[in-house]
Structure 1
């Protein structure tokens, strides 16, 4: 499975699309679906079909955020998501214990989205309520996304680290390059900018399949 053609097309934008594709790949590799990873146009088309975006959104370079990722997973895979909202990057580390439990019990990659401002609400995926989303809110697009693959949390000291996959990588499929250049690796709590808030999307596979 390769996403390089799509990744190169999205170079310079669309990190949330690539994070979604990484999450989708996890569901394929773990036997939850045999549906192929959608490209960015298919992701956009899905959001138009559910009424979240207008027709002109398809083929655009408009960014998407945490709520859109939840909508797509729910509509195309039937996967609901849980959301975590922090008021600053400094609070991400405070959620390390919660994230560690997620990886122990659920295991799905977590998309984390950075945006300026203050988080005031979360839109529930199952509602599909486009009218509840302010198009100018920071829960929409234009945000910087990463994918968290794991958390190292010390119960005694509270120290933590985050295994982060950076969707901004557009090079070759050379694992040595990806790892040596830090495109996938462990990041300290200071990696998360304290001047921004972060939304996290935690996909929840059906309980009867876990």
Structure 2
């Protein structure tokens, strides 16, 4: 594979150097160069200087000579891309300054990369850019509620992997997708419905904050926010405890004295924060809340939770009494009613050791009543379940 980026300036004409000309240059000198071509005009004319970035991918056999690859693959590829850009900007040259930039993607289901050329004047949330991405999704048979062709999804080189915008601070090593290492639930004949996509595991004592005993719902919210970031629905940083409290004060739900306190929050407060951070006209994010009168009633909600994970795929927060958990899935046998809940426990206070977390049951399948008759959910507590909805956007 060869990858070259060429920055060029053009007026009325475009010129490509013939293959014989390339013999006088090394490959390193071909990676970036500029050219300026002018042509005589029959009458006075204005000059428009346009900066264009060309970026192509070429596949070839390993034994293909470099000179042949450049002349037969790279140069024609650059010519094709420049021709496409010309058609895209020619109608706007006199009135606007297009800023076209190519990006390469490998969406799920495609085996080879595709290249999309975006006008970076608009930004990703501009309506015109959104419609372009939606049209590309439709033409490629991609889902219309997954952001798969945003610039943040673009390939980077040379790892040939998508950019992974971590929701954590630089240098952090938060664990991701810890549920993939746990054993089966033990539900005979059950159907598992799980979270779709990646998340980061936030728990007590992260970021140097001692929230042991009061911060479990904050940590569940942070895990949910990391899901939105890692699926590219949002570029908003995962909020700290103080930032969560500030949002609740700003919307009038809490008094100013709440900021900096160690007061608990629950599913209702989490929905307020998510609506504030994500619920704008672009994201159209919302939350659904399920109420149950007792922990004994939670198994009755397994069918509804299974539908949530199959259609929305977002993490769920379960709050009851003074405890909060993050729910990542359910295993449900509709015929027998047997079910298990895949719990990510924010009350963990140890190091981010995956083996220790899995062996300690901090991410594990939990039944409402285990084989020894012990109840995981409290019988005498009221529970709220927060079901964040997947934004309908690309």
Equivalents in 2 of 1:177, 1:113: separation in Å? 25
Equivalents in 2 of 1:88, 1:101: separation in Å? 21
Q: Aligned-pair distance for 1:9?
A: 2.0
Match of 1:173 among 347, 352, 357: 352
Equivalents in 2 of 1:42, 1:8: separation in Å? 13
Match of 2:250 among 28, 45, 49: 49
Q: Aligned-pair distance for 1:62?
A: 0.8
Q: Aligned-pair distance for 1:5?
A: 3.5
Q: Aligned-pair distance for 1:66?
A: 1.0
Match of 2:331 among 152, 155, 178: 152
Q: Which residue of structure 2 lines up, in the alignment, with residue 82 of structure 1?
A: 288
Equivalents in 2 of 1:28, 1:159: separation in Å? 34
Equivalents in 2 of 1:113, 1:146: separation in Å? 7
Q: Which residue of structure 2 lines up, in the alignment, with residue 109 of structure 1?
A: 315
Contact 2:313/2:390 (<8 A) preserved: no
SS at match of 2:296: helix
Larger relative contact order (Cα-Cα within 8 Å, sequence gap ≥ 6): 1
Q: Which residue of structure 2 lines up, in the alignment, with residue 200 of structure 1?
A: 385
Give CA deviations for 1:116-144 in whole Å, capped at 9, x if unaligned: xxxxxxxxxxxxxxxxxxxxxxxxxxx21
In the alignment, is residue 15 of structure 1 matched against residue 221 of structure 2? Answer: no
In the alignment, is residue 186 of structure 1 matched against residue 186 of structure 2? Answer: no
Q: Aligned-pair distance for 1:155?
A: 2.0
Q: How many residues align?
A: 182
Q: Which residue of structure 2 lines up, in the alignment, with residue 97 of structure 1?
A: 303
Q: Aligned-pair distance for 1:8?
A: 4.2
More helix by share: 1
Q: Aligned-pair distance for 1:156?
A: 2.0
Contact 1:7/1:18 (<8 A) preserved: no
Structure 2 length-normalised TM = 0.45
Equivalents in 1 of 2:358, 2:209: separation in Å? 19
Q: Aligned-pair distance for 1:197?
A: 1.4
Equivalents in 2 of 1:7, 1:165: separation in Å? 20
Which ranges in structure 2 are unaligned for 5 or more consecutive residues? 1-167, 169-173, 175-201, 280-284, 370-375
Q: Aligned-pair distance for 1:13?
A: 1.6
Alignment map for 1:129-140 (pairs within 5 Å): none
Alignment map for 1:118-129 (pairs within 5 Å): none
Equivalents in 2 of 1:5, 1:145: separation in Å? 16
Q: What is the aligned-residue RMSD (CA, Å)?
A: 1.4
Larger Rg: 2
Equivalents in 2 of 1:159, 1:31: separation in Å? 35
Contact 1:17/1:64 (<8 A) preserved: yes
Contact 2:330/2:340 (<8 A) preserved: yes
Equivalents in 1 of 2:209, 2:340: separation in Å? 29
Contact 1:110/1:200 (<8 A) preserved: yes
Match of 1:60 among 245, 248, 261: 261
Q: Aligned-pair distance for 1:157?
A: 1.4
Give CA deviations for 1:33-60 in whole Å, capped at 9, x if unaligned: 1211100000000001101111111001
Change over 3 Å in CA distance of 1:150–1:83 after alignment to 2: same
Contact 1:112/1:148 (<8 A) preserved: yes
Equivalents in 2 of 1:163, 1:186: separation in Å? 4
Equivalents in 1 of 2:355, 2:381: separation in Å? 31
Structure 1 length-normalised TM = 0.83
